[in-house]
């Protein structure tokens, strides 16, 4: 069964360091999303891609976060420099981008900033 | 701004009992999603509700959507321990064939006890 892949699964870093997360969506899914989930809350959108283009990055803290999906397939989310408040689960999801819009989530990357 | 509110946020129920989780949202939308999340895990898609009056059932869970009231319910029948998890509802504002990011509620943490 096709799944969204993410790596690493866990990342511990010190504040001011750079971190990067990788996501490989389900094959054929044109739309890719990065969400951040703080413990005890629902996920919140950081950035949405349609193929290689950014559709919505209004909630992405652009002074420290960047995201790319160069070939319209896999994607990388980077944080530089990391801050204590960035500790969270980072979830990648993908969908066909059709009206049905069912989004499938990857296992997530648990980031801890010390 | 689209707001999604779930209640209750915490629910402890005995095995064999029935209960309903409610999801209210603040703006017009005809697409609503229910997800399940186990502790430390990612989100699993349960139901996609696409129109007013939509009802879907899977095992002991049944979800419905009333777009006029901006309300969805997740009904649990004869609860069993395996249903213990956090349940999220999510809404998007999409009205075309493109993908839209989901706005999640805070989640309902369900514990089923013997």
Q: Is the predicted pLDDT of residue B97 greater than 60, yes or no?
A: no
- Give the tens place of pLDDT for each residue, B64-92: 999 999 999 999 999 999 999 999 999 98
B45–A91: do the CB atoms touch at under 8 Å?
Answer: no
Residues of chain B found within 8 Å of residue A99, distances taken between Cβ atoms: 50, 94, 96-97
- Give the tens place of pLDDT for each residue, A27-83: 999 999 999 999 999 999 999 999 999 989 989 999 999 999 988 899 999 999 999
- Give the tens place of pLDDT for each residue, B31-59: 899 999 999 899 999 999 988 889 999 99
Q: How far is B104 from chain A (nearest CA, A)?
A: 5
A97–B106: do the CB atoms touch at under 8 Å?
Answer: no
Q: What is the DSSP string of chain B?
A: ---EEEE-SEEEEETT--EEEEEEESS--S-EEEEEE-TTS-EEEEEEE-STT-EEEETTEEEEEETTTTEEEEEE-S--GGG-EEEEEEE----SSS----EE---EEEEEE-
Q: How far is B50 from chain A (nearest CA, A)?
A: 7
């Amino acid at each position: 069964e096709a799944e969204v892949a993410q790596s690493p699964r866990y990342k511990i870093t010190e504040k001011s360091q750079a971190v990067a997360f990788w996501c490989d969506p389900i094959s054929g899914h044109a739309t890719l999303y990065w969400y951040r989930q703080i413990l005890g809350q629902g996920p919140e959108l950081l950035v949405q891609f349609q193929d290689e283009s950014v559709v919505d990055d209004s909630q992405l803290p652009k002074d420290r976060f960047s995201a790319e999906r160069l070939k319209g397939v896999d994607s990388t989310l980077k944080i530089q420099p990391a801050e204590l408040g960035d500790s969270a689960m980072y979830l990648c999801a993908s969908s066909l981008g059709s009206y049905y819009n069912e989004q499938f989530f990857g296992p997530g990357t648990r980031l801890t900033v010390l | 701004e689209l707001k999604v509110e779930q209640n209750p946020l915490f629910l402890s129920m005995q095995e064999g009992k029935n209960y309903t989780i409610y999801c209210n949202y603040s703006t017009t939308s005809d697409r609503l999603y229910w997800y399940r999340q186990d502790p430390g895990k990612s989100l699993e898609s349960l139901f996609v509700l696409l129109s007013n009056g939509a009802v879907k059932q899977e095992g002991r869970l049944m979800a419905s959507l009333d777009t006029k009231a901006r309300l969805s319910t997740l009904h649990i029948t004869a609860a069993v321990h395996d249903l213990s998890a956090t349940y999220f509802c999510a809404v998007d504002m999409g009205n075309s064939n493109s993908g839209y990011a989901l706005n999640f509620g805070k989640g309902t943490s369900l514990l089923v006890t013997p």
